Structure 1
C-alpha cells in the first residue's frame, strides 16, 4: 500500500500544472495551480496567449444568488486566442503549432480545451495581434442579422467594443449611423468609426426628440440595442421606425424585462434577438472578422485599451464595470 501511495504522489508531482483564475466570491479571485487538461476525442488544447474580458462576466462577478463559488478554474473566460499545442484522437483538420481564435469557456487560464470545430485558424499576418475572436465574431453575426443596407438610418445604443465595430460596419455599408452612449469618449469613438451623428445618453425624451428631428419624424430603419439594460431597451423601441427592425445585441442576464408591446405592435416592428448559439454560425462570424481585419477594413487593436496579467483579473473585471476614462475593452495577457 505504501508503495502505491508513493507512486501516486510521484505521478502528481510530475503531472504538468497550469495557472488558472478562480472566482472565490463576489469581487474576489485567486490563482490556482491545477492539472493541465488533456484533449479528448475531436478536441484540441490551446496554449493561450490572451483572453478578452466580456461584460457578461460582470453579473457573476457581482455574486447574484444563483452564482456558485468557487467557480471552475478558468471559467467565465470565453474570448481566448493562442496556439494549438495538442490534439485529441480523430482531429484531422488542425495541427499543433496553429495559431487560433477559440470558442471555448475556461480561458482565464494558461490552457483551455475546445472542440476542433470551435477553433478558427489565424493567418500569419495577424501574428502578435490580440485577437478576441468570439466578440469580433458576434459583431459580424449581429451585423448580418441586422440586414443593414445603404441609405438606411441606423441607431446604435451603447458604444463600446461591440457598438464601435457595428458603427464601422454599418457606415461602411452606406448607412447613416446615429450613435447614442453615456460617455463623451464613447461618442468620440463612434465618430472615429463612422457615426454621422452622436447623442449623449442622459435624457430619455430628449434623445427621442433629437432622433425625431434628425429623421424628420420617421425614426430609424434599424436600431441596435447593445447595452443589456431596461432603459436602453425601452429607448430602442421608441427610436425604431414603422416596419423597422429592432436588434437586441445587449446581453440581458440580470432578470426579466418589460416591453411596450403596444408600441411594438402599432409600429409593426420586427424584433431580432441577435445572440447566436449555433457553433457553426459563431465560427462563420469569426471567419468574417478575420477577413475584415486582414483586408484592412477593420482594426480592433485600438479597441483593446487595457491589458492585465492573469493575476489581475479582478482589476480587469472592475475596469470593465467602472469604465475609467478611455476604457473600451480589457484583455488578459498570458
Structure 2
C-alpha cells in the first residue's frame, strides 16, 4: 500500500511516499481503508519535533484525523463490521506508523466513530482534532454543562476567538447547536463572512473594533465561555469580558508562547483558565466528545465548505508536503488529503 512516512523530524521535506505492507488488525483493533486524511496544526508541529510527546525510532505516518471504510476487524471487535463508514480521531497519538496518511490504517476500536451514510467522508475527516477540541473547550466551565446536546448551552454566551479557523468554526457550530449565543472575533471582512456562515450571531473585527466594548454591548454581564486560540495576545480582553465563574479555555498558542496575567482581573470573578490538549484529556473526555460530536453530525450541525464557513483545500497523497505547508502557513480553510476512492 502507499503510505507517507518520515524517520526524522524536520520541515515538510522529511515526508516521503513509500510502499508498506498492509497491516493486520489484532484483538480489539480495526483496519480502515482510508479515503480522506485531515491535516491539523498538531500534525506539522509533531513532524517538526515541536511536540512534547516522545518520538521513538522507526517510521512515523503523519495525520491524526481521517475517514474511510472498515476493511477488516480483529477478535473481540463488536461495534463495527466491514463496510462501515467511519471517522478516525487521534490515529497516531504516540507517533508510530498508524497515522491516516496511508491507504490502510489499523486503529483501536475506540478511536473509530460511525459516520451516517448521508454524511460525506470529507466531513468525517474534518472532525477529530477540531471538533473534539472545540467540544472540550465548551464543556469545562465550573457550572457546566459537561456534555453538549440541543439546549445544553441555552441561556449562555460563548466568545470564540478566531472564528474562521477550523477549531473556531467547529466551536461556533457546536455552541449554536447546543443553544448558546455566539460571538466571535476575526481579522477582516473575508473571515467575517466565513464566521457568519458558520453561524456566529455577532462577528467582531478585532483590527477595527474595541472587542471588549462590543462584547459588553451584546452581553452586558459578560460571556460564560471563551474559546481562545491566541492567549498571549487576548487574555487581557478575555478577562475583561468573561462572567464571574466563567472559563477561558486555551487550546493553542498562536501569537506567542508566554502569557502576562493580571492575577486580580481573574481572581475577583473566580475565572477559570483551562488548558486544552486532546492527547492528555483522558479517555472519558474523549469518549464524551466523540459521542456528542457524532450526535451533532447526525443532526446536520457540522457541515463544511465555504458556504458553511470552512473552505476546503484539497491535495493528493503525493502532495502531502504542500498540504502540511498550507496548514503551517495558516491557510484559511480545512486541508484535506485524498488518499483513495470511497
Structure 1 or 2: larger helix share?
1
Contact kept? 2:138, 2:225, Cα under 8 Å: no
Return the match for 1:123 from 116, 126, 131: 116
1:39 deviates by 1.7
Larger radius of gyration: 1
Q: Does 1:142 align with 2:137?
A: yes
Matching residue within 155, 159, 166 for 1:161: 166
Which residue is 1:219 aligned to? 222
Deviation at 1:296, TM superposition (A): 2.6
Structure 2: gaps (5+ residues): 93-98, 146-151
TM-score, normalised to structure 2, is 0.78
In structure 2, distance between residues paired with 1:330 and 1:150: 32
Q: Does 1:89 align with 2:80?
A: no
- Give the structure 1 partner of residue 100 of structure 2: 107
Structure-1 residue corresponding to 2:205: 200
Matched, 1:22 2:27: no
Q: Tell me, what secondary structure is at the counterpart of 2:18?
A: strand
CA distance, structure 2, for counterparts of residue 64 and residue 149 of structure 1: 35
Superposition map of 1:211-290 within 5 A: 211-216=215-220, 218-225=221-228, 227-250=229-252, 257-276=259-278, 277-290=281-294
Which ranges of 4 or more aligned residues in structure 1 deviate by more than 4 Å? 61-71, 254-258
* CA RMSD in angstroms, aligned pairs only: 3.1
Offset at residue 257 of structure 1 (A): 4.6
> C-alpha distance in 2, partners of 1:322/1:87?
38
- Give the CA deviation at 1:81: 1.1
Matches of 1:291 and 1:299, distance apart in 2: 13
Q: 1:90 to 1:297 in 2, by over 3 A?
A: closer
Q: Structure 1: which 5+ residue stretches go unaligned?
A: 1-16
CA distance 1:70–1:51, shift in 2 (3 Å): farther
The structural deviation recorded for 1:193 is 2.5
- Aligned partners of 1:175 and 1:280: how far apart in 2? 24
Choose 120-129 or 56-65, whichever is displaced more: 56-65
User: Which residue does the alignment assign to 2:181?
Assistant: 176
- How far 1:115 moved relative to its partner? 0.7
TM superposition score normalised by structure 1: 0.80
C-alpha distance in 2, partners of 1:328/1:23? 29
Give 1:4's aligned residue.
none
SS at match of 2:128: helix
Give the paired residue count.
Answer: 312
Distance 1:214 1:293 in 2: 29
